[in-house]
Amino acid sequence: MNLLEVRRLKVYYPADPGLFSSVRSTVKAVDGVSFELEMAETLGVVGESGCGKTTLGRAIVRLVEPTDGEIWLEGELISTMRGAELRSRRRKIQMVFQDPFGSLDPRMTIGESIGEAIDIHRLASSEGAKQERIEALLADVGLTADQVGRYPHEFSGGQRQRIGIARALAVEPKLIVCDEPVSALDVSIQAQIINLMQDLQQRHGIAYLFIAHDLAVVEHISRRIMVMYLGKVVELADAGTLVRRPKHPYTQALISAVSVVDPDSKRQRKILPGDVPSPLNPPPGCPFHPRCPVAEARCRTEAPSFREVEAGHWAACHLAV
């Protein structure tokens, strides 16, 4: 059984009309996304800013409400849950944010921040047991017990992200949604956090939905990669397969932009014309066709189906073979 199943998920927002218009429009931030995630698996989600990947992660955690579609966790439909029922299931899904400082209350010590989650879900039988658990969580992420009384501003960016991870681990989740968790960190610190996350996954059996714009980072940590464009999934495959044999022109452009250390590499950068179209007014047909170097006439009028091009390799492109 899959840990997580997302089916035809949509997140639409009403957009205010402009100064000279009375017509209300709709922002299709996530537009019919479906995928599965296995226990202890890492699924990477990549795409340019505005592709909907962050909104997708927030909808799964229910920080934003889905407009339509289904979210199943361990065989339970959680997208329609409310109140106490939802809170009890939320323990199984936690989130680590891009800005670790912004996600921590500056008025609370890190021990209080971590302990708050333990208190909410009543996971400690006594104050002493709670303190032991807090110290064990800090040790889990490479921090020490004598730091428990310090405040967020007393830590570096990498240390604060470790605290955010410890707080997510406090409720023993099955899945952690990671929204650009290393993009604000120096490259050397990024590697440390990625290694920490992989170690925690092996020890605790956690699954990750790893959202990022850096394909090189996503390839390193993920078993599979899902590529999003304008609220839709355009390609999904095993990480190695997707990077070696991308089927969608958008994925090919993303891979061409990844830095290559090998001086003999013949990889050529593919520069896409223009910007990502507005989700307020997506193009007809294939949403990528205005920027696609190989678009045909039907791409402008006929939306491609998301189909299995090879075993386990899916793409939404008329020309993918």
Average pLDDT for residues 117-134, to the nearest whole number? 92
For residue 8, give the 3-state DSSP assignment: strand
Give CA separation, 229 vs 46, 250, 297, in Å. Answer: 9, 8, 20
Is the pLDDT reported for residue 49 higher than 70? yes
Tens of pLDDT, residue by residue over 282-320, are 899 999 999 999 999 999 999 999 999 999 999 999 999
pLDDT band at 280 (very low <50, low <70, confident <90, very high): confident
Distance between CA 105 and CA 112 in Å, rounded?
9
Q: pTM for the complete prediction?
A: 0.92
Residue 229 burial (CB < 10 Å; 0-12/13-18/19+)? buried
What is the rounded distance in angstroms from the CA atom of residue 178 to the CA atom of residue 196?
13
Per-residue pLDDT tens for 231-268?
999 999 999 999 999 999 999 999 988 855 445 555 56
Tell me, what's the pLDDT at 20?
Answer: 54
- The helix or strand, by DSSP H or E, that contains position 253, with its residue range, turns out to be helix 249-256
Nearest CA to 138 among 120, 118, 153?
118
Confidence (pLDDT) at 266: 55
Q: What is the pLDDT of residue 271?
A: 73
Strand boundaries in the chain, DSSP class E: 4-15, 25-37, 42-46, 68-73, 76-77, 93-96, 175-179, 207-211, 224-229, 232-238, 307-310, 313-315
Would you state the pLDDT for residue 23? 59
Q: What is the pLDDT of residues 50-82, one digit of tens each?
A: 899 999 999 999 999 999 999 999 999 999 999
Q: Name the H helices within 81-226.
A: 83-90, 110-120, 127-140, 157-169, 187-204, 215-221
CA distance 300 to 240: 31
Q: What are phi and psi of 297, to 5 degrees?
A: -60, -40
What SS3 state is found at 278? coil
- Of residues 87 and 163, more confidence is placed in 163
The domain over range 1-16+25-92+180-272 is classified in CATH as 2.170.130.10: no
Q: Convert the pLDDT of each residue in 165-209 to its tens digit.
A: 999 999 999 999 999 999 988 988 999 999 999 999 999 999 999
Q: What is the pLDDT at residue 136? A: 96
Domain ranges of the chain: 1-16+25-92+180-272, 102-172
Using a 10 angstrom Cβ sphere, with 0-12 exposed, 13-18 middle and 19 or more buried, the burial of residue 44 is buried
| Mean pLDDT score of the chain | 91
44 touches 226 (CB < 8 A): yes
Question: pLDDT by residue (tens digit) across 99-116?
Answer: 877 888 999 999 999 999
